Amino acid sequence: MCGGDPLSTSPFIVGTVLGHHPNRKLSKYESSNLHAESVAKCVKMKATEAQSTVLQQLLRSPECKEMDREYMSTLITSAFFVIRKQWAIDSIGDILQFLHNQKCPSVLNFMANQPSVTYTSSTSVRDIVLSINSCLEKSLLETIRNSPYIYLLADESTDEANRTQFAVLIRCLDTVTDNTIKDHFLGMVNVKKTDAATLMSEIERFLISKEIDISKILFVGFDGCNTMSGENTGLQRRFRHVVPHSLYINCRSHRLALCVKHLMKYFPVLEDVDLALLAIYKLFDNSPQKFAVFKDVQASYAEKELVLRRAAATRWLSHGDACKRVIQRYVLIVDTLDELLSRKKEPEIVGVRDSITNKNTVAAILVLCDVLQPVSIFCKDL
């Protein structure tokens, strides 16, 4: 084949044997930069292995052990602070450096004795975050498991990445601390389908993974769509097949939330209010320069800085807060729009000013402030 003898046992390619060619010798690689970098990495790795492990560092002398504990306490507290503020996780190192510059005793003592060990690498920070999560989840699940009865709330939605998420919440009796009814967000479940059978299967799998006894659930709260509330094949019916004593409650918060959307069909002025509130919010939220002018106007009136709220189309609470804040700063908002128009006549600002100064729109906002206040209180208590 290809000019060779098919019965021959000799190799087809005749030439230099692998390993004897000058280009294959290690001497050439030994003099390369790549070999020098590899040797340096090897030396550094051996030096790191020669150091004591984390466990050995924590079990050193009582003085060093106490110093390590104080530093780790500061590190975990900083990580928890970053998580609560929803900051980037990699900012923990900057916070520790700030504490070092501010002469924090625990950080100063630790870095003076071990400057090369800070536990701020991505792996260490990830382990710390997972430890905090495990600690909080353990306490939460203990409260739920000790409760004699449970109220399950669940709802599905689609996120910005077009993934279907199924949120699970629990209302239970906290017998561990103060014997009060408390609500807890338990987690999100990614679901591929949103039919009743799939959702029921995901609920069962989720509760089993959390070691929560499903037979303790006395009430379930879902929205009123057919998938959730269907009497024959809906999720609430399938749940009763598993837990016969459970009762289905159509979520009242969902019903209240849909009232605004339905009222807009019969009262166009409410749609004008919704558009005006959303336009004002976007005007200042999308432009730091315009919001800076609004802050300066509030400061000139000696008023406390107030940020406008976004009014969602199906949320009572957001409309109540948005209307209340617009009325509280109505004169200041109009003055801010006039100041912006004096600098540059943008069509967007002209449109927002026309909508916010319309008599019917302002009257409807005032009425909504009075109407939504008790409704918002009722919605919070649900």
Whether residue 121 has pLDDT greater than 90: no
pLDDT in tens, 218-252: 999 888 888 888 888 899 999 999 999 999 988 77
CA distances from 334 to 282, 337, 350 (A): 15, 5, 11
- Residue 107: inside a domain: yes
- Residue 351: inside a domain: yes
Q: Rg of the chain over CA atoms, in angstroms?
A: 32
- Residue 224: inside a domain: yes
- Integer Cα distance of 120 and 91 in angstroms: 9
Per-residue DSSP letters for 112-172?
HH-TT----SHHHHHHHHHHHHHHHHHHHHHHHHH-S-EEEEEEEEE-TTS-EEEEEEEEE
> In one letter, which amino acid is 204?
E
The more confident residue out of 15 and 189 is 189
Q: What is the pLDDT of residue 194?
A: 87
- Domain hosting residue 151, numbered range: 137-250
Of the residues 250, 279, 300, which one is the last residue of a structural domain? 250
- Integer Cα distance of 76 and 70 in angstroms: 10
Whether residue 60 has pLDDT greater than 70: no
| Tally of domains within the chain | 3
CA distances from 36 to 39, 41, 44, 50, 183 (A): 5, 9, 12, 21, 60
Q: What is the pLDDT of residue 244?
A: 92
Q: What does the mean pLDDT of the chain come to?
A: 81
- Integer Cα distance of 359 and 367 in angstroms: 12
Q: Are residues 298 and 202 in the same domain?
A: no
What is the number of other CB atoms lying within 10 angstroms of the CB of residue 167? 14
Q: Are residues 98 and 203 in the same domain?
A: no
CATH number at residue 228: 3.30.420.40
Secondary structure letter of residue 216 according to DSSP: G
Of the residues 250, 268, 287, which one is the last residue of a structural domain? 250
Strand runs (DSSP E) across the chain, as ranges? 150-158, 164-174, 180-190, 217-222, 247-250
pLDDT in tens, 68-100: 788 888 888 888 888 888 888 888 888 888 888
Q: What is the pLDDT of residue 381?
A: 57
